[in-house]
Each structure stands twice: as C-alpha cells, then as structure tokens.
Amino acid sequence: MELIEKALATITRHNMLQKDATVLVGLSGGPDSVCLTLIMARLKERLGLKAIHTMYIDHGLRPTETPAEIAFCRALSERLGMEFHTDAVDVVGHAKATGLGKQEAARALRYDAFRSVLIKIGGERLALGHNQDDQCETFFMRAIRGSGAKGLTGIPPVRNHVMRPLIETPRAEIEAFLNSEGEGFVTDSSNEQDVYLRNRIRSSLIPLVKELNPNILDTITRTTDILNEEERYFFVQVTKKLMTLITRKSDQAIEMFFIPFESMDLAIARRVLRRAIDETASLRRIGLEHIDDILRLVRTGKSGDSIDLPGGIKAYKKYSTFVITSEEHTKLGVYTLAEGSSVKLAETGQSISARVIDKKALEEMPPPSGLRACVLDADRLDWPLTIRPRKDGDHFQPMGMGHGKKLQDFLTDLKVPRVERDSVPIVCSADGEIAWVAGYRADERFRPTESTTRYVMLELHEPR
C-alpha cells in the first residue's frame, strides 16, 4: 500500500489527472508497466476516473517472445476489467527510411501508435511506467552524450498528454510490490543486451555510483527537480526575448534581428536560438554543437557571410537580420510583364504588377512607400517588360546617381547576401536595359519628368 500512496502523491503533486478522465496505460508486460496497471486499477475510484484502457505495441523486433507477452497483457487487462488494445509497428523499416537508430525509431512509432488509440477512445492521458531508476539512467546517458542543462532535466513527470506516476519510485520498490502481490511479469530479453547504452549504464555504471553514493537515485531526482525549476524560469525569459527578435518565420526558415545578440548573455543567447530552431519544423536537425557556430556568424560575421549546417540547412547574415533556412534559393526564371498586368514568380512566390496611370491619378494617390514599389515613365520603357535573374556584366544607373554601376557592386554595397542574389527580380525594358532592381532601386534613365504623361507603378508583392 505504501507504493500506491507514493504514486498517488506523485499524481497529485504534478496535477496529472482530472476527474472523469479516460486513461490509456502503456502495458508491455514488464514489471514497471504491470505495477502501473495494478496501481491505476486500485486508484480508479479514488481518482474518479471514467475508464482505464491498456495497450501493447509489437515493435517487430522479438517475434518469438511477442505472442506470449500479448497473451499475458491481455489476460491481466481482462482480469482488471480494462479494455485491451494492441498494434504492430515496423521499427526496422522506419529506421531505414529515416536514418534513425532502432531505439529512436521505436520510440517515435510507439508514441504515434499510443496517440492514435488515445484519440480513438477519447482519452485525456497516456500513463507510462518510467521509474526513478529510469530517470537516473537517462540523466547519465545525456551527461555522457554532452547534453545541455535542458537535457539533464531528464524524463518529465507530466508533459502534454503523457504522465508517469512511478517516476519518483525506485525499481526495487516496484519489484518488491509485485512480489508482495504475487503478481508475475514478463522479461524483455533486449534489456539484458549490453549493446544499448542504457543497459550498460544500468548494469555497470549505476552499481559503481551507488558505492560512492547509496542515495544516488534521490540525489539525481533532486538535481532534475532543481534543473526543471531553472528551465521554467529560463523559458519565460526566452519567450520574452523571442517576441522582440523574430521578423519572419515559416516551417522552412526563421529570420531574426542580430544586434540584440551582440550584447546578450551567452546562456540566454544559446537558449533563444535553440528555442527558435526547435519551433521551426525543418530546422530541428541542428544540434547543440552548431549553436555556437551560428552565434559566431551573428556576432563576428559580415553581412552576406554564411555557413552550411547539416541536412542542407544554411545560416547567413543580412544587413540587420540573420536567417536560418532549409529553403533552396533557386535561380529565378524568366517572365514577361505586359502593361496593366501582373505575373507570379514561381521560384519565390512573389508577384510583380505593372499598373499604368495618368498624371491626375498619380497626384491623387499617396507616393509609393518603401522599396517594394516605384513609379517610372511608361513611355520611356519598351513593352513588354522582362523579369529575369541577374547576369554577369549587368550594369544600370541607380536612381539618384549620376553614373552607372555594376549590378554586382550595387548588391554588394547593399550587403544583399550572396545566397539571395540569384532570386532578386531584375525588371528590364524590352530593349534589355534594367529598369528596376525589384525591392532595391529603379534606374535613373526611366525616372518621370515634367513632360511625362503616362506613368507605370511597378510593385513587388510578397507571398501571402
């Protein structure tokens, strides 16, 4: 009964459950999951639960053992009056397809399968049997692999829909409870294989550490509790910072102001960058070891400098911002733009329009703002216009200058990153003369004069 009360205290302390909840218990047949299933059955009425279901997942890795384990779990569930579910996943196939290790692939598929059944039964919580020993092993695993402070917080007692009522209970107490109850369990043969780091830590490292500190489980638990409290504080600070730094964000890229990073404390800067990356789907492959590379680029690099990161990800510095992206900056195609029409640029998602207006209409409308539009003399242009990428040897006369300039030098002076230059739309008159470097500067030769009667407003529209 002492273990049941301890589990109830953990559930209460971490606010794991609400009344009338439906819970799905991950049941593998091992001692932890069997103990958890028994405890949830005993606590059902005290917690006011609506229903408890169990689920076994066949990973396809131990075909000779799985049928007996399923039979055991089914029998236990039926004896306790719980509805039993089972599913099979292809760990080997998923590992090959994604490049993940078997354990990582198994974990990903397992949680997907649990989530599907939880939705099916209308459940609020998935209960898993991780215990205090698992927490200690995870701490050492992550320390050995060089994890940061966040990783050393270990296995959370509750996160999203997952709860772990035994996370503060030692494995020895779980096995003693099952022995006192006369309750059997099955043994997973893979837990005895020293090819897995966790098993080697369990069989070799932990016994040595216990010789130095017999209370190492409680010590690690206190440490992870402290780290979790600190992480909650940092989470709030990082959230405040992020709200002022991000200028653009999508599933493929994130753009941020870099000046605040120059004076930001390194601990906060690393966390801000890590959070931003973790919240951008295609960038999550960037490891902690690359965070400092990005920060060096941000703090000491010049505008236009870039670095390559794993998985085709690139980070580069602009005039006032920096970008981390998995987007491929493909070279712009060639397009034709007629008077009064618009054209969409497939490579960037932008569009350019050419609106022809007379002098009266021009005087009545507000002047174009920013660099996304310009007004030119429509009759000094040869139509239709051509939109194309830059070419070697391109020259034009930037508006306001009394002489021509190489386009390459112009873009360099404006610190346009090299990776973006092939996607800058160059709008040309039909005779080939550059009329507008879209988003940057129009050509002086097409500036309206006192004798201009027809004007064209060229506008660059960003994708919506």
pLDDT band at 82 (very low <50, low <70, confident <90, very high): very high
Query: What secondary structure letter does DSSP report for 26?
Result: E
As a whole number of angstroms, the distance between CA 446 and CA 64 comes to 80
Q: Is 359 within 8 Å of 436 (Cβ atoms)?
A: no
Tokens of 464: 């919506």
Q: Please identify which residue in the block is written with the tokens 């310009």.
A: 374
Sequence-ordered alpha helix ranges (H) in 122-215: 132-144, 171-181, 197-200, 206-212
Q: Which of 431, 349, 319 is nearest to 385 (CA)?
A: 431
* Residue type for position 314: K
The angle, 0 to 180 degrees and rounded to 10, between the axes of the packed helices 91-98 and 102-121 is 120
Per the CB < 8 A criterion, the answer to whether 130 and 26 are in contact is: no
The stretch 162-187 carries a mean pLDDT of 94
Find the mean pLDDT for residues 369-380.
87
Q: What is the pLDDT of residue 260?
A: 93
Nearest-angstrom CA–CA distance, 251 and 402:
43
Q: What is the pLDDT of residue 331?
A: 85
Q: Which comes out higher in pLDDT, residue 32 or 312? A: 32
Does residue 183 contact residue 38 with C-beta atoms inside 8 Å?
yes
Is the distance from CB of 145 to CB of 181 less than 8 angstroms? no
193-198 contact pairs (CB < 8 A, 24+): 196/103, 197/141, 197/144, 198/137, 198/138, 198/141
Distance CA 439, CA 111 (A): 46
Q: What angle do CA 346, 351, 353 make, to 5 degrees?
A: 140
Q: Which residues pair with 343 in a beta bridge?
A: 352
Both tokens of 73, joined, read 């779990």
Rounded CA separation 444/436 (Å):
9
What is the distance between the alpha carbons of residues 278 and 283, in angstroms, rounded to a whole number?
Answer: 7
Specify the pLDDT at position 73: 96
pLDDT at 434 over 70: yes
Structure tokens at 292: 């400092």
DSSP 351-386: EEEEEEEEHHHHHHSPPPPTTSEEEEEGGGSPSSEE
**Of 104-108, 335-339, 401-405, 419-423, highest mean pLDDT:** 335-339
How are beta strands 125-127 and 158-159 bridged, if at all?
A: unpaired
**pLDDT digit string (tens) for 2-15?**
899 999 999 999 99
**Helical packing angle, 66-79 and 31-47, nearest 10°:** 20
CA 398 to chain CA centroid, nearest Å? 41
- Angle at which helix 216-245 crosses helix 266-278, to 10 degrees, equals 80
Are the C-beta atoms of residues 356 and 339 closer than 8 Å to each other? yes
What lies within 8 Å, CB to CB, of 280 at 6+ separation is: 249, 250, 251, 252, 253, 254, 324
Provide the residue ranges of all domains of the chain, joining segments of one domain with +. Answer: 2-226, 250-325, 335-461
Whether the per-residue pLDDT at 344 is higher than 90: the answer is yes
Token pair of 100 as six digits: 């993940």
Judged against a pLDDT cut of 80, whether residue 464 lies above it is answered with no
pLDDT at position 312 = 83
CATH fold of 2-226, please?
Rossmann fold (3.40.50)
Report the half-sphere exposure of 183 (CA within 13 A, side-chain side): 24
Give pLDDT, residue 195. Answer: 62
Would you say the CATH fold of 335-461 matches that of 250-325? no
The pLDDT value given to residue 194: 63
- pLDDT tens, residue by residue, 228-269: 899 889 989 899 988 899 998 888 889 999 999 999 999 899
pLDDT by residue (tens digit) across 198-226? 889 998 999 999 999 999 999 999 999 99
Model confidence at 190, in pLDDT bands (50, 70, 90)?
low
Q: Given this model, what pLDDT does residue 337 score?
A: 96
Sheet holding 426-428, edge to edge: 335-337, 385-388, 426-428, 434-437, 441-442
Give the residue ranges of DSSP H helices in 122-165. Answer: 132-144
Distance from C-alpha of 82 to C-alpha of 78, rounded to nearest angstrom: 6
pLDDT at 401 over 80: yes
Structure tokens at 187: 């043994």
Residue 181 has pLDDT above 80, yes or no: yes
Cα distance between residue 12 and residue 47, in whole Å: 10
**For residue 172, pLDDT beyond 90:** yes
The secondary structure of residue 398, as a DSSP letter, is B
Joined together, the tokens standing for residue 247 give 């200028």
3-class state of residue 95 by DSSP: helix
| CATH code for residues 335-461 | 3.50.40.10
- 306-309 and 162-163 as β-strands: parallel, antiparallel, unpaired? unpaired
- More confident position, 369 or 430: 430
Mean pLDDT confidence for 437-453? 94
pTM reported for the whole predicted model: 0.66
Q: What is the pLDDT of residue 149?
A: 82
* CATH label, 250-325, candidates 3.90.950.20, 3.30.465.60, 3.60.15.10, 3.40.30.10: 3.30.465.60
Mean pLDDT value across residues 52-70: 93
**pLDDT tens digits along 269-327:** 999 998 888 888 788 778 778 999 999 999 999 888 889 888 888 899 988 899 998 88
Calculated CA dihedral for residues 371, 375, 377, 381, nearest 10 degrees: 50
